[in-house]
Amino acid sequence: MTQMPASTTATVRPIVNDPASVEAAIEGRQSVRAFLPTPVPRPLLERLLALASRAPSGTNTQPWKVYVLQGASRDALVQKVCAAHDAVRANPALAEQYREVYDYYPKQWISPYIERRRENGLSLYSLLGIGKADKDRMHAQWQRNYRFFDAPVGLFVTIDKAMGGGSLLDTGMFLQNLTLAARAHGLDACAQAAWNGYASIVLPHVGAGENEMLVCGVALGYADPADIINTFRTPRVPVSEFSTWLE
């Protein structure tokens, strides 16, 4: 009989002791857009990243790399990107300098996704009392992305440009693990594709190599329960709408 390698003999745990807590973390997860300044201890951050790293990846490639920003490094990047964001508003031609490496969103929107996108934006800005004509407040609210919504921790996730598209899927599962682990420990997060256009500023700042591609940023910390924006909860379509059952 062939002996199995030691690394494959870990005990399988078929039953989760408290499935309700897992469901609570999933159902309680939301994109938080206002955080308290309360620091997050490094040991806790390391624990969250270790939990996130249990995400599946094709042939166990584990393609993700994470940069954790706090304190002065976080604040310096916020200042740089907010300045660039303001400059683009003053001179839209500068937007050509800040292009995403990969298309997070489609070039041409179709139904039903465009309707969901519009509903999301309208609901969020209506909650904040920001109308379509209020360009100054819209700009300021969008720039909250580049301030990590005041979260004390900002993370940037990258993958090697040499990897295939499947690594984006793998990294997405890593990010899901991270947000759920954060929720389980009383924290919240917001995954942010908004940073991707400013990768040319972000990547040199964090010391990333030329072979790295920015996947997204993440704001992480303790949610501000008093801010109205954190009452915003996005709807989900019913299972019957997105599933097909074959027997």
Give domain status of residue 18, yes or no: no
Contacts of 231 (CB under 8 A, 6+ apart): 127
Q: Residue 10 has what pLDDT?
A: 60
Percent of the chain's residues with pLDDT above 70: 95
Q: Residue 3 has what pLDDT?
A: 52
CATH number at residue 155: 3.40.109.10
Give domain status of residue 46, yes or no: yes
Overall average pLDDT of the 17-38 stretch: 94
Give domain status of residue 1, yes or no: no
pLDDT tens-digit readout, 168-193? 999 999 999 999 999 999 999 999 99
Domain residue limits at 186 = 30-95+146-234
Q: Residue 181 has what pLDDT?
A: 97
> Using alpha carbons only, what angle is made at residue 34 by residues 182 and 72, rounded to the nearest 5 degrees?
80
Q: Residue 4 has what pLDDT?
A: 46
Q: Residue 113 has what pLDDT?
A: 97
Give domain status of residue 113, yes or no: no
Percent of the chain's residues with pLDDT above 90: 91
> Using alpha carbons only, what angle is made at residue 209 by residues 107 and 84, rounded to the nearest 5 degrees?
55
Give domain status of residue 124, yes or no: no
Give domain status of residue 91, yes or no: yes
Give domain status of residue 223, yes or no: yes
Number of domains in the chain: 1
What's the pLDDT band for 18 if we cut at 50, 70, 90? confident
Give domain status of residue 241, yes or no: no
pLDDT tens-digit readout, 196-221? 999 999 999 999 999 999 999 999 99
Q: Residue 11 has what pLDDT?
A: 67
Transcribe 159-227 into DSSP letters. Answer: EETTS-THHHHHHHHHHHHHHHHHHHTT-EEEEEGGGGGGHHHHHHHHT--TTEEEEEEEEEE-B-TT-
pLDDT at 28 over 90: yes
Q: How far apart are CA 217 and CA 203, in angstroms?
A: 11
pLDDT tens-digit readout, 107-150? 999 999 999 999 999 999 999 999 999 999 999 999 999 999 99
What's the pLDDT band for 6 if we cut at 50, 70, 90? low
Q: Residue 208 has what pLDDT?
A: 98
